[in-house]
Amino acid sequence: MLEIEGLAVRYGAREPVLHEVSLTVGEAGVVALLGANGAGKTSLMRAVSRTIALHGGSVTAGSIRFLGQEITGANPAGVVARGLVQVPEGRHVFGPLTVDENLDAGAITVRSREAKARTRSQVFEMFPRLAERRRQRAGTLSGGEQQMLAIARALMSQPKLLLLDEPSLGLAPRLVEQIGETVREIARDGVPVLLVEQNAAMALSVAHSAYLLELGRVVLSGPAGELSHSDEVRRLYLGEDGDDVEEDVSDGRAVPRLSRWTA
């Protein structure tokens, strides 16, 4: 469904942040893209959703094919119209609008009233908490509910492929589990997912295959089960060697990274 080959991305005149990245997402299942802060995960998502230019970046080499067609020159709206929909990091729900209005906004490209109503009831089945809060303003929802709304809004556009950027970020472990279950369910319902995560444990538990990015390069890839048994992933990303605590340079506190929700 999605074929990325030899992709290079840079911001302005700086050194490229992605080098020769190749990655494939098939017709079904979940593909996880793992990596530490700054590895280039979000930049890859932006390249695929064609929002990279909005962030001052560009694709300088390689190709991105979606459903067999080159999309490297497409614009963001064109990509969404083809069924490739991104839920960016940080949720970005429309705070002053209600849950229902947010869902309407997600369905703006869907013409048929019946199709919209059908998708809305499927979405409410998947997220009963949103159904209970359909007239509540999105800005007053909890962090976990906002993340669910961001995913639900993307589903309203009836995507053929969903890109999820760090859906577990900032959520408590119980909610991370729920997000993982939701991702599984979306894939089971027939929408393949490219899941970007720092939470390697969650991502590898829901994914079929996975890629590990380091400093803009794919350094490991394969079936998720194999990656979760690789020494490097276990040591650096699943925190099995006590190696998961690094200095947070912003305030000097030692904080667990990558494996922070796995305890």
CA nearest 197: which of 261, 142, 151, 106?
Answer: 261
By the 8 A CB rule, do 76 and 54 touch? yes
Region from 20-28, 30-38, 105-113, 231-239 binding ligand ATP, contact rule CB under 6 A: 30-38
Site for ligand ATP in 50-109 (CB under 6 A): 55-56
Report the site for ligand ATP in 201-260 (rule: CB under 6 A): none
Nearer to ligand ATP, 15 or 231 (CB): 15
- Binds ligand ATP by CB under 6 A, chosen from 8, 11, 65, 181: 11
Dihedral angle computed from the Cα positions of residues 220, 4, 123 and 205, in that order, rounded to the nearest 10 degrees: -10
Total residues interacting with ligand ATP, rule: CB under 6 A: 13
Q: Is residue 40 involved in binding ligand ATP (CB under 6 A)?
A: yes
In the bound complex, what is the minimum distance in angstroms from residue 133's beta carbon to ligand ATP?
A: 29
Cβ at position 235, least distance to ligand ATP in Å: 19
> Is residue 38 a contact point for ligand ATP (CB under 6 A)?
yes
Q: Which of 1, 17, 155, 227 binds ligand ATP (CB under 6 A)?
A: 17
| CA 22/CA 211 separation, integer angstroms | 10
39 near ligand ATP (CB under 6 A): yes
Q: Where are the alpha helices (DSSP H) in the chain?
A: 41-49, 76-81, 99-106, 113-126, 128-132, 143-156, 173-188, 200-206, 224-229, 231-236
Q: Is 198 a binder of ligand ATP (CB under 6 A)?
A: yes
Tell me whether residue 107 or residue 197 sits nearer to ligand ATP (CB atom): 197
45 or 186, CB closer to ligand ATP? 45
Distance CA 121, CA 184 (A): 19
Asked if 170 is part of the footprint of ligand ATP (rule: CB under 6 A), the reply reads no
In whole angstroms, how far apart are CA 101 and each of 26, 59, 111, 136, 159? 32, 34, 16, 10, 19
* Cβ neighbours of 186 (radius 10 Å): 22
CA 204 – CA 208 distance, rounded (Å): 8
Q: Is 49 helix (H, G, I), strand (E, B) or coil?
A: helix
- Where do contacts with ligand ATP occur on this chain (CB under 6 A)? 11, 17, 35, 37-43, 55-56, 198
